[in-house]
Chains A and B, each alone.
Chain A
Amino acid sequence: MSERHDNSAAKSAILGKIRRSLASVSEGADPNRNEARQEVQERLASRPKGIVPKRAQVGHYEKVAMFMDYAERVSSTTARIGSYDDLPGAITQYLREHNLPQAIVMGEDPRLKAVNWRTEPQLERTIGPSDGTDLVGVNHAMGGVAETGTAVLASGPDNPTTINFLPENHIIVLDANDIAGDYESIHDQLRDMSGVAHMPRALNMITGPSRSGDIEQKIMLGAHGPRAVHVIVIG
């Protein structure tokens, strides 16, 4: 792309320096790095799991409770409802309680699309990404992590990334069955049967509303992202 910069020459130079430095400490080092390559392939294939905290290794009921507890500790608010039928009512109630207009922006997530929104006719819904003028955005999470109250959202037309960051208020919908104990379980869901990870363009792991401590190290909510995060757990 650049006339001045020869990318493959720079790559060879850097990799060459790395190999020379590493070879200086290992006797009879193989310049082709065949052994190293094999070790790397083995490690990438076996993907050993690290240490999963004990607190994350509990039953479903405890996981859901733990998720909500940790989410609230980081200043998210939470609600739990029985089914998707109750979702429109839960959203309009949240909007009323926070003096917000009955209007949301949301993506094309099939689980949200299937909801009967006519039960709350006053709720105005815009479908698509956020352009920064929306006060409230609604996204469906692909999962939750109980050990830190983290919601995990995947980019795409179903749940546009801009909705996670631009509206001042972010409502995250999460199926209780998708709450895992640990991060590893969520990352496992991204891999296919042969173990290959299929990443969305952006995977957002969100733990509470945006904040900054950059003025005299005092934490303030609502830095550049949402000032409020409300998680509605279904089931």
Chain B
Amino acid sequence: MEIKSRDFKKNASDALADATLQKALKNVEAGFIGKRQASVDALPEFEDLRDLGRDIKTHALKHLDVYLEDYEKKVTASGGHVHWAETAQDACEIVRDICHSVGARTMTKGKSMISEEMQLNAFLEADGMEVTETDLGEYIIQLRGEHPSHIIAPAVHVTKDQVEADFRRAHTNLDPNRNLDDPVTLLGEAREVLREKYFAADVGITGANFLVAESGSSVIVTNEGNGDLTQTLSRVHIVLASIEKVIPTLNDLDVFLRLLARSATGQEQSVYTTLSTGPRRTEDPDGPEEYHVVLLDNGRSEMLGTDFEEMLRCIRCGACINHCPVYHAVGGHAYGWVYPGPMGSVLTPSLVGVDKAGHLPNASTLCGRCESVCPMRIPLPKMLRHWREREYERHLNPTPQRWGLKGWAYFARRPKLYHRTMRIGMRVMKYLAPQTALMRRLPAAGGWTKHREFPAPEGKTFQQMWAEREAERGQTKGDAA
């Protein structure tokens, strides 16, 4: 999808003024945070599992080349094909060529974030293919001509009333006077419409949550069952996976299965965890005749050995997004590319360049909630700071900001001067706000005071007050003795 991360500031302002979006975003906090906590509390081993999951992924990444080769051998032995794609464009062409080789015209798709990275739907549609998204959320946004605003809840920005309007517009063969008040009727309608698509599809595409080197299996973890119908009923199953998805063994998979659903939706386990290994066997009465895996690099191999290697541990649970106050305020589309929230703010500059995505690492308060819930213990705030450093080094941020930082650095390196200046500053600010405890205007901080008042300093710096408090405590102690 086209990269619009440069417009983050404008996108964010628009999002804050969008009442429908704000209503929909309320569901993020309500729908995810409490449920995650409850499921985590119910498993005493959860924190230890996080450590173990981190260590397994770290090991897999350090041996990524070897695991990928072993994985490929197993897939080939089970009758499947592995295709290697350096870029998103290559991956699109590989999928198109597979489709051509079997004369495919129609395709169903389970949820896949890297297909968004590849802009696969647009590519295939331009080639004359009919592509249908089958995950309910993905189907809704496909009807709306939008992109996912969340990696596990793609239509979280859409309200029920909007879905109803979209269905009435798209499903013109149904009775226009039908009652769609209950969301369950919307679900039922999508179920009926998509059932026909599964049976008609020549090719079914799914993503992969994991690739298991031990067995050559691709694994999808879902709740709806659309991914399974997509891959079972099509003649050809194509798995899209990025290279960092490979893990060593089935026992390792079990570690991740205990972390993923709890971190994502707060379920103890997702409804369907499916391990697929090769195409239909001779004796099988169902399943796809061909099984292909497209392994996409698209910049990931170059993240290894850098400050951003740890990002490749990400298992795409969405917990960091669900807990991010910035995401709660502006939603996913403001981030301007495929991956929103904290994980997106780290990953997007890695994959598309910090010159195109420099606003994203700055769209964070560095509050640390993301890291505190990440099942892979990815130090997201640290990596956001790394991106800010890169941005500064490459002179990508605006001149006033650079001057401001330089000015601050000058004082910060001279503690005595810093304290003296701060003391004067505090007195001045107190003088500027003599009557109330809040300031309506503040020079050079219009962005703050335009929306809220600034708490006025009380005339002393923190250091001064701390010193006074310590002195007082010393006094009291002395008295008691």
Q: Which residues of A are at the interface with B, using a C-beta cutoff of 8 A?
A: 1-2, 4-5, 7, 10-11, 13-15, 17-19, 21-25, 33, 36-37, 39-40, 43-44, 47-51, 53-54, 70, 73-74, 107, 128-129, 132, 147-150, 155-157, 160-162, 164-166, 182-184, 187, 190, 197, 199-218, 220, 222-226
Contact = CB atoms under 8 A, between A and B. Distances in A.
Interface residues of B, number: 111
Contacts of A165: 225, 228-229, 232
Grouping DSSP codes into helix (H, G, I), strand (E, B) and loop, the A interface class, with mixed when no group exceeds half, is: loop
B195 A132 contact: yes
A44 B194 CA distance: 40
B107 to A, nearest CB: 16
B224 A224 contact: yes
Contact of B135 (A36, A206, A214): A214
A70 to B, nearest CB: 7
Nearest to A39: B63
Given A15-B65, A37-B66, A164-B228, A2 B136 contact: no
Interface string B68-82: 111010000010010
B156 A212 contact: no
Contacts of A128: 285
Contacts, number: 288
Contact of B66 (A33, A47, A199): A33
Contacts of B250: 47, 184, 187, 190, 197
Contacts of B158: 215
B442 interface: no
User: Which 3 A-B pairs have CB atoms at the shortest separation, nearest pair first?
Assistant: A225-B225, A217-B31, A214-B137
Interface in B86-140: 86, 90, 93-94, 97-98, 101, 134-137, 140
21 contacts: A4-B97, A18-B68, A22-B65, A44-B248, A48-B251, A53-B45, A107-B285, A148-B268, A157-B284, A165-B228, A202-B232, A202-B274, A202-B277, A205-B274, A210-B225, A212-B187, A216-B24, A222-B187, A222-B191, A224-B229, A225-B228
A143 to B, nearest CB: 14
A205 B63 contact: no
Interface in B180-217: 183-184, 186-188, 191, 194-195, 199, 213-217
A201 B279 contact: yes
Nearest to A207: B269
Given A39-B63, A47-B248, A216-B159, 8 more contacts: A18-B243, A201-B277, A202-B275, A206-B271, A214-B153, A218-B183, A220-B183, A225-B225
A50 B229 contact: no
A223 B27 contact: no
A53 B257 CA distance: 12
Interface in B244-282: 248-255, 257-258, 265, 267-281
Interface string B284-314: 1111000000010100011111100000000
Contacts of B156: 217
A148 B45 contact: no
B41 interface: no
Contacts of B302: 17, 21
Contacts of B93: 2, 4-5
A50 B48 CA distance: 10
